[in-house]
Amino acid sequence: METVYKWLKNLATGAPDWALLGVAMLVAIGFLLAVFPGVFAFITWAERKGLGRIQNRMGPNRVGPVGLFQPIADGLKILTKEDIVPRRADGFVHFLAPVVAVVPALLALVVVPVGAGLVAVNLNIGILFAFAVSTASVLALFMAGWASRNKFSLLGAMRAVAQVVSYEVPTVLSAVVVLMVVGSLSTLDIVESQRGWFGWHVFKPWGAIGFFLFTCGALAEAGRTPFDIPEAESEIVAGYHTEYSGFKFALFQMGEYLASLAMMSIGVTMFLGGYLGPGSGPGVLGTLISMGWFFAKLLAMIAVVIWIRGTWPRLRVDQLLAFAWRFLLPLSLINIVAAGLWHFIPSKPVGWGVSAALLAASCWVLTRLNGRAYIEKRSYRLTS
Amino acid sequence: MSAFGKGLLDGLRVTAVNFFGSYFDKGRKERLFTYQYPEERAPIPENSRTFPFLVADDPNDPVGTIRCTACKICEVECPPKCIYIVMDRDEKGKPRQRPKVFDIDLSVCMQCGICVEVCPFESIKMDNDYEKARYGRFNELVEHLPDLLKPNAYYHRIKPTEAAAVDAKLKAEAEKKAAKAAAAAAAKPPPKPAV
Amino acid sequence: MSAPVVIETQTLEVSIGPQHPSTHGVFRMDVVLDGEVVVKLKPVMGYLHRNHEQLAEKMPWIASMPYTDRLDYFCSMSNNWAYALAVEKLAGIQVPERAEYIRVIMAELTRLQNHAAAVGFLLSDCGAWFTPVLYAFRERERILDFFEAVSGSRMMCNYCRFGGVRVDLTEQTLAMARGIVERFPRFLDEFEKLMTENEVLMARTQRVGILPKALAIDASISGPMARASGVEYDIRKVDGYGVYPRFEFQVPVGETGDVYDRYMIRILEMRQAVKILQQALRDIPAGPFQNPAVKLRNFKIPAGDGYGRIESPKGELGFYLVADAAGKNPYRYHVRPPSFINLTILEDMCLGHKVADVVVILGSVDIVLGEVDR
C-alpha cells in the first residue's frame, strides 16, 4: 500500500493526503479481494483437472475452453441453492460461522508481500499478526459445530479443532527459526534477507526442515490430505459443516482454501524467497516480474498439494495428533537448536555440517521411535 | 529418511507418471481412456445385447414377413415375464400364426436373452441399442409391435456373423423341408386297385 | 496422590445409515460409541432383499440363472458357475472339457476384476480420493469389455448353462483374453508401487480389525478373509471342482488377519489368478462347448438334494438345491452367500477400534449387498 501511496503522490501532487491514502487503501484491499478469491476459483478448477489427469481421465471440459468456466458454474449453482437452517440451531452463531471462517484468512493475507514492495500493510510485527489472525479461524469450526445443534457436527468440530490447534505449535515454532535468523518480524525484511544465489531459506538445513514442518502444519490447518479428516467426513460423522447449504457452505470452502492459500503464501515468504527471483527488482517491470515469481512459487506449492491429495490416503485422527505431538514438535524444537548452531558457529562449513548432521540424526531417531506402527508384513504361500 | 518416506515418494512418482502420461496418450492405450460421449461412443462388440427385437424378412412388408408365429414360448420362458403376446386371428377366429399384439415392457426386461435361446423360429433377437431413455416411467417404456419389428438387414448390420449363421440355418431348414416334401410326393404310393 | 477421578461419560449411539458416503451398498450398522471407541456394533441388513430364493421356486431351473448374475453383481460369471455346478451335481450332467476350461478362464478373470475393485474401494475408504479405484477400473474395463464381447453383457452375463456355456470363445475373443492377461502384471506392479509400501496406508490398516484364526474357523469365514487369518482353506484346492487340479498355482495365506493382510492377500491372489489364466489360455482344447443331451426347455431333475460350491472371489459361494418329484422347479433353493457369513463377525473385529476404522474394516470384508440380502 505504501508503494501505491507514494506512486499516487507522485502522480497527483495537489490532492489532499487523506484522499490519496484512501485510494491507496482501496487499491490494496481491492487487489487482495480480487486476486486471492480468483486464485481460489482457479485452484478449484486446477484441482479437478489435476486429479482427473492423475486418475487417467479428463477433468471438467464442457463449460468453457478446457473447463475454465467451471468455477463460475459452480458458484452460480451454489448461489441458487436453498439456504436451510435447522430450526433448533442457534441462528446468530450459525450465520456468523462462515464469516468467521473467511475473514481471518483474508486478514492474514494483508501482510504478505506479493511483489517488490507490494504489501498491503507493512507491519513491523507482520508474521506475528499473520499467525495470530489465522488462528482465529479455529473459532469458526467450533461455532459451526456448536450452533448446528447436532451431535455429529459437534463431534466433527471437536476433532477439527483438536487437529488445528495441535498443528499450530510446530507451525509457529518452525516460523520462529526464520525469525531468529532474520531478526525481524516484518515480512518485507524476511524476504529481503533471502537475496542472493541460493539465498532462500529453504536451501539451508534448518530451512529445509522448517519448510517441511511448515508445510505439514499448513496442510493440517487447512484440512487437506493427508490430514483431511474434518473435510472428508465420509468416515461416519458428517462434520462441522453438515447443516450448511448453499452459499454458507461455499463460504466454508472458500475459507478453508483461503486459509491454505494464506499459509502457503506465508510459507513462500518465509522459506521460498517470496517475490525474489532473477529479474525482480525496483521499477515497473521488476515489480511485475517479482509478482510473477511470487505467484509462480505459490502455484508450484498448490500443484504439490494437489498432487499429494491425489496420491495418499488420509491419516486417522489419533494418528494425526500423534504425528503432530510426537514427531513434528520435537523436530521443530531440535530445528531451533540446529539453527542456533548454524548461526553461531563461526566457520561456515562446520556450521552447515553440524546443523545438517543434527537434523538428520534427529529425523532418524524420531522415525525409529514413532515407526512402531509401520511393521513389515510377510504373507506366505503354500499349496494345501 | 529413505526407509521412512520411500513408500510415500514412490506413490507420488506413480501419480506423476500418470499425470504427465495422460497428455501424451493417443489412442486410449494407457493413460487416458475417456470417451467424450455423446460426440464419440465406445465401440460395442458384436455380441452385445440390450433389449429384444423382432426380425422381419422383407423390409417392404414387415408385418407380413414377420418370422414370429406367436407360439408364446418366449412369453412362457421369460423369467421376469416381460412379454405379452396376443395371436392374430382372422374373421372366423382361426389363428393366423403371427402376433397381433407383442409388447415388451422395457422396465421389466432384464436382458437375459433366454427368449432368444428358446425361440424355435429365429424370430426374436437381441438388439444392442442402449439409448432407450424416455420421458415417462410406465407406458412410455413399453415397446409395441411396430417398435420391435426390424428388418433382417438391420440384424445383419448389427450382428453380421450371427445373422449370417441364422440365415444359413434357415436356408438349410427350408431346403430340408422342400426335399422332404419332394420325396414324400415322389414316394406317394400309386392308388390301390379296387379289389 | 488423590484417588483417580472417574469422569461420567455417556455412550453415543450412531447409525451408520443405509446411505453410505463410501460404497458397498445399502447397509446399516448400529454402532455404540464410547468417545471414539466402538463398544457395540450391530449390522442391519435386508435393505436390498429381492426375494431371490422364493422367485427361483416358481420358475424353471434355467430361469433363475440370470437372477444369479444379480446376487454378487461384481462376479456374475462365478455365480453362474456355482449354480450350474450345483444343478449338474444334482442331475448328474457331464460338462465337456472345453466348457470347463472356459469356465475357469471366466472365473479367474472375475477374480481379477473383483479384487481390483475391492482393493480400490478399500483404499478410497482410507481416503485416497479415488485414484486407486480408477487405476483398478482401467484394467477392469478391459475385462468387462471382454465379457461383453463373449457373453453380450458386461456384468449380467448369464453365461453358464447346465452342461456347458452359452456361447463359445472365438479366436478373436481368445486373443482379447490373452491381451488382458499380458497387461495385468504391469498394472499390479504399478498399483503395488503406489500403495503397498505407503506408510500412511500401513499406519491406517495394520493392527486394525484383527481376526484371530480360531474365531475365523468358528464363524465359518471363507475366502480371502479367512486366508488372511491363517486358515489354509481354498475350495479350488480342497474340492478340486472343474479342471482346477490341472493347474499349478499357490494359495497365499497370511498371518495376522488385519486389514493390511487382507489387502495383501487380494493382491497376491490376483497374481496367482494371472498364473492360472496363462495356463488355461495356453491349454484350452478344441471341442464342444455344450452338452447336447441337456434340454433348454422342460428340463427336469430327478428328486433329491445337493449342495454345490465354488471359491468365489469373496469366499465360499454355495447353492443348496432340493428337487421334488415333479422336478421342473426347485422345491427349495438356498444360496450360501459368502459376504453375509463374513459380515457376522464384523462386531468382533471392530470392538475396541475407533470409528474411522469401522469403515475401513467394512471395506476389507469386501461385501456386496446383492449377495448379503439376496
Pairwise CB contact (< 8 Å): C156 & B110: yes
Chain B residues close to A56, C-beta within 8 Å: 18, 22, 31-33
Q: C193 Cβ partners below 8 Å, 6+ apart?
A: B10, B11, B13, B14
Please, what is the Cα angle at A205 between A201 and A209, to 5 degrees? 85
* Percentage above 70 pLDDT, chain A: 86
Distance from CA of B20 to the nearest CA of A (A): 8
Nearest to A313 among C31, C204, C207 (CB): C204
The beta-carbon neighbor of C129 closest among A51, A237, A375 is: A51
- CB-CB contact of A151 with A238 (8 Å): no
- Render pLDDT for B57-68 as a digit per residue (tens, 0 to 9): 888 887 788 888
Highest-pLDDT range among A109-118, A139-148, B179-188, C280-289: C280-289
Average pLDDT (B30-59) is 83
A53, A308, A368: best to mutate for the B interface, most B CBs within 10 A? A53
- The whole-angstrom separation of Cα C349 and Cα C148 is 38
Contact check, Cβ <8 Å, C199/B117? no
> What's the gap in Å between the CA of A133 and the closest CA on chain B?
33
Q: What is the pLDDT of residue B66?
A: 85
Out of B5, B10, B33, the one facing C193 most closely (by C-beta) is B10
pLDDT (average), residues A107-128:
82
Q: Are A110 and A32 in contact (CB under 8 A)?
A: yes
Architecture of the domain spanning B52-161: 2-Layer Sandwich (3.30)
Q: In angstroms, what separates the C-alpha of A50 from chain B's closest C-alpha?
A: 7
Question: Contact at 8 Å (CB) between C260 and C206?
Answer: yes
Identify all chain A residues contacting C31, using CB atoms and an 8 Å cutoff. Answer: 236
Residues of A within 8 A of B15 (CB-CB) are 54, 307, 310-311
**What residues of C are in contact with residue B6 (Cβ under 8 Å)?**
197
B89-136: pLDDT as tens digits: 888 888 888 888 899 999 899 888 899 989 988 889 998 888 888 898
Does residue B72 surpass a pLDDT of 80?
Answer: yes
Portion 18-77 of A in contact with B at CB < 8 A: 50, 53-58
Across A316-340, average pLDDT: 82
What percentage of chain B has pLDDT greater than the value 90? 2
Contact: A50, B12; criterion CB under 8 Å: no
- With CB atoms and an 8 Å threshold, state whether C198 touches B18: no
Question: Residue B99 is placed in which grid cell?
Answer: 402376433
Neighbors of chain B with 3 or more C-beta pairs under 8 Å = A, C
Q: Where are the alpha helices (DSSP H) in B30-144?
A: 73-77, 114-118
- DSSP-derived 3-state class of residue B105: strand
Q: Is B140 on the interface with C (CB under 8 A)?
A: no
Q: Strands B52-56, B149-151: parallel, antiparallel or unpaired by DSSP? A: parallel
Q: Output the pLDDT for position A376.
A: 55
Domain boundaries defined on chain B: 52-161
Chains that touch A (3 or more CB pairs under 8 A): B, C
> What residues are paired with B103 via a beta bridge?
B84
Q: Which chains touch C (3 or more CB pairs under 8 A)?
A: A, B
Using pLDDT thresholds of 50, 70 and 90, give the confidence band for residue B1: very low
ipTM: 0.83
**Chain A contact for C200 (CB, 8 A cutoff):** yes
Q: How confident is the model at residue B84 (pLDDT cuts 50, 70, 90)?
A: very high
Cβ-Cβ contacts under 8 Å, A62 against chain B: none
The per-residue pLDDT for A239 is 67
Q: Does the global pTM surpass 0.90?
A: no
Give the chain C residue whose CA is nearest to the CA of A312. C128
pLDDT level of residue B4 (50, 70, 90 thresholds): low
- The whole-number pLDDT of residue C107 equals 92
Statement: residue A8 has pLDDT above 60? yes
pLDDT at B186 over 60: yes
Counting as low any pLDDT under 50, the low residues of chain C are 1
* pLDDT of C274: 92
Cell numbers 461455532 correspond to what residue? A143
Q: Does A326 touch chain B (CB under 8 A)?
A: no
Give the pLDDT score at A382.
63
Q: What pLDDT score was predicted for residue C320?
A: 92
For residue A226, is the peptide bond before it cis, meaning its omega torsion is within 30 degrees of 0? yes
In this structure, how many other beta carbons lie within 10 angstroms of the beta carbon of residue A231?
Answer: 20
Q: Given an 8 Å threshold on Cβ–Cβ distance, is B11 in contact with C194?
A: yes
